[in-house]
Copies of this chain bind each other. A is one copy, B any other.
Amino acid sequence: MKFSCEKAILQSAVLIAGRVVATKSTISALEGILVEASEDGLCLSGYNLETGIITRVEAQVTQPGSLILSARLFGEIIRKLPDDVITVSTEGNSVHITCGPTSFDIMGSPADEFPELPAVDDGSSVTLTQSALRSMLSQVLFAVSTNESRPIHTGALFEVEDTTLTLVAVDGYRLALRREPFIRKFGMNTFSFVVPGNALTEVERICADSDEEIIVTLGDRHVTFQVGQTLLVSRRLEGEFLNYRQTIPQNNPISLHVDTSMLQLSIDRASLIINDKLKSPLRCKFEDGSLAISSRTAIGSAFDRCPIAGNGQGLEIGFNNRYLMEAVKAAPAQEVRMELGTPTSPCLLLPKEGETDNFLYMILPVRLKAGE
């Protein structure tokens, strides 16, 4: 194998393919990037047996071939080489990398040791802008469960309907839902699938904040995300995802509006005396025009007041401070509607009346004991 490529191009490709490479594995090939040079250019692949990334770049290939290179070492070398054309040539498993006066000799592994990436048949697909999917993911993934006892909830649900894609994540204590119109779809009229949270974290990273497209294609057991010359392949999670529509309370008697930045500051302050050892719920008392947040632990007590628009009718309700904070932070609006029922029914964060119905966060309350 022998090829030449501009440093910036090669560096960006190694970074992308390297994202899913295992940092430490008993199978050394899994710590590597598969580099394949052919007449069509260069193809770099990383694969951790769950998520794979294949990215293609242009390169001047003078001798086709393939080899596995350590993702860490190859990445470091490329990063530190001068901004110039890099030439990579191999002889057996040894690799010679040169750029200007600088050169490296390192060892690679035979390409056939690289695990085969799953082949994905073309199925139904949905296309969105990268920026839309990126913001949806960033506002939903925090609520993906990390509890392996319900594997299906360690992923996020994609629901493709008439004109919109809905993403949902749940973890037993909360639910996050984001909805956006897509550009186009292909295949079935409605379809849904669940993608592991870890893979989606990588999807979020390969999405730029741009109007360029990302195509999400459903295979039998896998799903692919295509961004320009980069393809991410992930397995799908099998099982029954929560019938989330049934869990969302309707006709909540209390509805009020709150500024999310102000509420974040109040939660932050009232959480100061709570830590991993000294857990305590936030006691939220929704009054007429203001929300009183307080907490009490062995360290001491904290009290803050946040303005609200509306009357909370004196409802006192307890929340896990982290869950409430993460929902308020994720909600994509400066001002949100809060809907509440009783001290034991979930709290909803929603868009203001009359605004696009594109998000919903639900947080289950914590039962308050006297003195908390």
Tell whether A248 is near chain B: CB-to-CB under 8 Å.
no
Q: Which of B80, B101, B269 contacts A268 (CB 8 A)?
A: B80
Q: Is the CB of B303 within 8 A of A103?
A: yes
Given known contacts A81-B269, A268-B80, A269-B80, A299 and B73 CB-to-CB distance under 8 angstroms: yes
A132 to chain B, nearest CB (A): 34
Given known contacts A106-B299, A299-B106, A77 and B272 CB-to-CB distance under 8 angstroms: yes
Q: Give the oligomeric copy count.
A: 2
Q: Mark A292-311, 1 if CB is under 8 A from B, else 0.
A: 00000001111111000000
Q: Is the CB of A301 within 8 A of B104?
A: yes
Tell whether A76 is near chain B: CB-to-CB under 8 Å.
yes
Q: Is the CB of A102 within 8 A of B272?
A: no
Q: Which of B101, B105, B273 contacts A304 (CB 8 A)?
A: B101
- With a CB–CB cut-off of 8 A, which chain B residues contact A107? 299-300
Q: Mark A76-102, 1 if CB is under 8 A from B, else 0.
A: 110011100000000000000000011
Apart from the given pairs A101-B304, A101-B305, A107-B300, 19 other A-B contacts in the complex at a CB distance below 8 Å: A73-B273, A73-B299, A76-B272, A77-B269, A80-B269, A80-B272, A82-B265, A102-B269, A102-B302, A102-B304, A103-B302, A103-B304, A104-B272, A104-B273, A104-B302, A105-B301, A106-B273, A106-B300, A107-B299
Which A residues fall within an 8 A CB radius of B? 73, 76-77, 80-82, 101-107, 265, 268-269, 272-273, 299-305
